[in-house]
Structure 1
Amino acid sequence: MGKVGKDYKESLKLIDKDALYTVQEAMDLVIKTSKAKFDETIELAVRLGVDPRHADQQVRGAIVLPHGTGKKVKVLVFAKGDKVKEAEDAGADYVGSDEYIQKIQNENWFDFDVVVATPDMMGVVGRLGRILGPKGLMPNPKSGTVTFDVAKAIEDIKAGKVEYRVDKTSIIHVPIGKRSFEVQKLYENFHVLMEAIVKAKPAAAKGQYIKSVSISSTMGPGIKINPAKVLD
């Protein structure tokens, strides 16, 4: 058995797979069970009591995590006119128009993490819907990535803004930091994100809204958190 398999088995011994941990216990455990040589990402998974096939039960939004995600985020901005300089001055990694659309279409270029577009560019950017949509990269007014205030959008993204959206299996997956973070910082990021998800509950959602919550490191096992105590 390889080292990764051995580490994973050792990590599993630290976790009671039937237990529902408090947030603090789960944070301590996720650090203890993260044994890879690189700085693993800590990810949150929340299963919601919604049916995402219905438009009135979609859950999505964006929030700036108080301590960021620990990841350097590359931003591509579609803009024209004076908005190009505004985007460059605000720290965008790439700013342009047709040249980047062609690069994505013809070269399968994806050296970016977030796409921002000014509203007057959406007609052009719309041509990338089939490519960017499935990757969750399509700019969207709800997440603040379709806006004329490109400077603020870029600053928020660089400061640690994350987008959360329920997938077709009713689960939200979001990174909340890195193993190298202090536990308290992971805890605060988790809390801010969970508050936003709870507030985003659609009026049409019936029954228990937060069905299950777990956190895991990139290579580590999932640790279940008591869904009744996520905001403690």
Structure 2
Amino acid sequence: MSTHGKRYFNAAKKAPQKPVSIEEAIKFVKANPGAKFDETVDVYFRLGKELTKGDTAVRGAVKLPNGSGKTVKVAVFAGGDHAEEARQAGADYVGLADLIEKVTKEGWCDFDVAIATIEAMKEVRKCARVLGPRGLMPNPKTGTVTDDTASAVKEAKGGKVDFRMDKTGNVAVVAGKRSFDEDKLVENVKAIVSAIQSAKPASVKGVFIKAMSISSTMGVGVPVLVTSVAE
């Protein structure tokens, strides 16, 4: 039984069947809401099958020029001056042994981004079983393992979003809210595309982005011309 509503099916009838430009896709998504609330706009990529190998995993982060429109909760694993700097920067949770215990014993993960200092990572690894599957484990590739906790917190709060490829070679990245102006969403999407392309492993040859689409939370996916975002 379908879980889609009338809005979705009405939009599906009008949706482009062939890939269109980023600008056209955003225009359609904004004009055809899937729900009454302010939906999140997401960009989906299908990467080459060869990328499913462990040595070519794709992950990284992108600073959205116009923010994500989401309120981001940040947890920082740090002590001493680094902890105080994180608090001053606006981190929601700051600590070390206490936070680690909460994660490992209670399964706590009420945050969107986790940041850790280089020294703290020695202990934070204990949280891998809880944070890893949720994509919350601090990682140098996304800039979340750093001693500059203040900058990391400000970036996370200011629109920096992480991305990582799943086991089937797909990547989904938040681009903003449907209420954003068209040009701001387009700018965010182009920043995402650039970040994905920059994350291409050197060992990968040939076409990197196999397919791309844009949709709102409850809306119809609109295929985007891969040639319009080619390197």
Superposed pair shares fold, TM > 0.5: yes
- Once the two structures are superposed, residues 60-93 of structure 1 have per-residue CA deviations (whole angstroms, 9 ceiling, x without a partner) of 2112110010001000000011111111001100
Q: TM-score if structure 1 supplies the norm length?
A: 0.94
Helix, strand or coil at the partner of 1:51: helix
Moved more, 50-59 or 127-136: 50-59
| Percent of aligned pairs with the same amino acid | 48
Q: Tell me which amino acid in the other structure corresponds to 2:9.
A: K
Match of 2:9 in 1: 9
Structure 1 runs not aligned, ≥5 long = none
| Residue 203 of structure 1 pairs with residue 207 of structure 2 | no
Deviation at 1:200, TM superposition (A): 2.2
Deviation at 1:230, TM superposition (A): 2.2
Match of 1:222 in 2: 221
Deviation at 1:57, TM superposition (A): 1.8
Alignment of 1:32-111 (within 5 A): 32-111=31-110
Deviation at 1:105, TM superposition (A): 2.7
Deviation at 1:55, TM superposition (A): 3.9
CA distance in 2 between counterparts of 1:107 and 1:126 reads 16
Deviation at 1:104, TM superposition (A): 2.1
Deviation at 1:187, TM superposition (A): 0.1
CA distance in 2 between counterparts of 1:108 and 1:200 reads 31
CA distance in 2 between counterparts of 1:11 and 1:141 reads 41
CA distance in 2 between counterparts of 1:95 and 1:128 reads 15
- Once the two structures are superposed, residues 102-142 of structure 1 have per-residue CA deviations (whole angstroms, 9 ceiling, x without a partner) of 22233332221000000111121101111111110000011
* Contact 1:27–1:187, Cα closer than 8 Å, also in 2: yes
Over the residues paired in the alignment, what is the CA RMSD in angstroms?
1.9
Structure 2 runs not aligned, ≥5 long = none
* Divergent runs of 4+, >6 A: none
Moved more, 39-48 or 27-36: 27-36
* Contact 1:50–1:205, Cα closer than 8 Å, also in 2: no
Q: Tell me which amino acid in the other structure corresponds to 2:112.
A: D
Q: Tell me which amino acid in the other structure corresponds to 1:64.
A: K
Helix, strand or coil at the partner of 2:202: coil
Does the C-alpha gap of structure 1 residues 118 and 153 become closer, same or farther in structure 2, counting only changes over 3 Å? same
* Contact 2:49–2:168, Cα closer than 8 Å, also in 1: no
CA distance in 2 between counterparts of 1:118 and 1:199 reads 25
Match of 1:134 in 2: 133
* Contact 2:52–2:169, Cα closer than 8 Å, also in 1: no
Q: TM-score if structure 2 supplies the norm length?
A: 0.94
* Contact 2:109–2:131, Cα closer than 8 Å, also in 1: no
Deviation at 1:50, TM superposition (A): 4.8
CA distance in 2 between counterparts of 1:209 and 1:81 reads 43
* Contact 1:195–1:231, Cα closer than 8 Å, also in 2: no
| Residue 164 of structure 1 pairs with residue 187 of structure 2 | no
Q: Tell me which amino acid in the other structure corresponds to 2:15.
A: I
Deviation at 1:58, TM superposition (A): 1.9
Match of 2:119 in 1: 120
CA distance in 2 between counterparts of 1:156 and 1:79 reads 17
